[in-house]
């Protein structure tokens, strides 16, 4: 196996294969990798060949000789060039474990800090290329999922959501802020087809509203006195319960707003991966994309159903209280 690829270059690190190197070959397109350069998620990075149905061996016939492919952005660079002309990434940087755009090599950030934000080498007077933002396309990889698939899944082309998805994939973070989830935690998750979270926050909102419903029903705020319990709803103790529930509602809103985007990102990755794995490369991509759109998107019908459920729960509670009290 090694003899066949000796002298060829690994698509990730750009280093030639040697006689005794351990080599992993993509079963679909035949692209060879050093064993340590093969992605942990077992997804070949040579997306262009997979899209075109080509093979690595045939592509070598038309490849530019001795070019170096950047492991961060994929740009082909001239032989002898130390840094990528597109993004400034050192061309000898291999990817181990994480996606290439997530990191810069050890020592690179320290070099930039020592020599100033502009990348000037004060000692030698040289200029070091500065990393520039990656130009993301529909084929860009976000933690094993194509950016175009995320756009298809979201449905309404929300740049805010995509920006957060990139941040989650790049940094591994989970926190952001979703204004819709903050103001309507009991309905927003249904809007994004996140049924489990929707049911959880709908029930939490209802439970925290129970003291308020008791107050309204006993004082006749809703038009007439519906029931009379032994609770003194004007007492300091009951007013304290109302304040605690109010703070509880605020806490629920903050938690929903902070994690809504991450939960949606995680659900999108799970759904897209399942669709791609279930149908593979043989199914026309247009059909796969349509399935991704159907799995994601938004649902006002679910919002209306959630609102109806909340009304039924509230009225049902008042009726039960009226029956027993």
- Other C-beta atoms closer than 10 Å to the C-beta of 141 total 19
Q: Provide mean pLDDT across the span 215-223.
A: 84
What's the rounded Cα separation, in Å, for the pair 283 and 82? Answer: 41
pLDDT tens track for 93-105: 544 434 444 444 4
Roughly what angle, to the nearest 10 degrees, separates helices 236-279 and 195-219?
A: 160
Q: Is the pLDDT of residue 255 over 50?
A: yes
**Sign of the dihedral through C-alpha 294, 298, 301, 305:** positive
pTM over 0.85: no
How far does CA 194 lie from the centroid of its chain? Answer: 15
Q: Is the pLDDT of residue 285 over 90?
A: no
Output the pLDDT for position 76. 72
Output the pLDDT for position 187. 95
What's the rounded Cα separation, in Å, for the pair 189 and 202? Answer: 9
Letter string b/e over residues 242-262, b meaning 16 or more CB atoms within 10 A of that residue's CB: eeebeeebeebbeebbbbbbb
What's the rounded Cα separation, in Å, for the pair 56 and 296? Answer: 34
Question: Taking all residues of the chain, what is their mean pLDDT, rounded to a whole number?
Answer: 80
What's the rounded Cα separation, in Å, for the pair 192 and 130? Answer: 39
φ, ψ of residue 79 to 5 degrees: the values are -60, 145
């Amino acid at each position: 196996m090694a003899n066949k690829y000796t002298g060829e270059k690994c698509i990730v690190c750009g280093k030639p294969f040697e006689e005794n190197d351990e080599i992993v070959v993509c079963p679909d397109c035949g692209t060879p990798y050093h064993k340590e350069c093969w992605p942990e998620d077992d997804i070949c990075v040579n997306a262009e060949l997979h899209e075109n149905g080509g093979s690595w061996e045939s592509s070598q016939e038309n490849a530019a000789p001795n070019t170096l492919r950047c492991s961060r952005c994929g740009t082909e660079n001239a032989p002898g060039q130390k840094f990528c002309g597109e993004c400034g990434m050192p061309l000898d940087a291999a990817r181990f474990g994480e996606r290439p755009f997530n990191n810069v090599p050890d020592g690179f950030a320290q070099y930039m800090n020592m020599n100033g934000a502009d990348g000037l080498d004060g000692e030698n007077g040289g200029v070091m290329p500065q990393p520039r933002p990656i130009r993301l396309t529909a084929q860009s990889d976000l933690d094993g999922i194509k950016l175009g698939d995320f756009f298809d899944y979201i449905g309404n082309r929300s740049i805010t959501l995509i920006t957060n998805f990139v941040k989650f994939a790049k940094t591994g973070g989970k926190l952001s802020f979703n204004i819709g989830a903050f103001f309507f935690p009991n309905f927003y998750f249904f809007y994004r087809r996140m049924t489990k979270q929707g049911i959880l926050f709908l029930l939490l909102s209802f439970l925290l509203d129970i003291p308020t419903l008791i107050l309204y029903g006993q004082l006749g705020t809703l038009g007439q006195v519906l029931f009379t319990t032994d609770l003194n709803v004007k007492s300091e103790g009951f007013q304290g319960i109302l304040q605690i529930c109010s703070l509880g509602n605020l806490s629920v809103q903050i938690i929903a707003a902070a994690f809504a985007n991450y939960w949606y990102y995680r659900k999108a990755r799970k759904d897209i991966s399942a669709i791609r794995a279930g149908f593979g490369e043989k199914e026309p991509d247009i059909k796969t994309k349509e399935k991704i759109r159907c799995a994601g998107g938004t649902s006002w019908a679910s919002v209306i159903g959630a609102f109806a459920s909340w009304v039924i729960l509230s009225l049902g509670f008042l009726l039960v209280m009226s029956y027993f009290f």
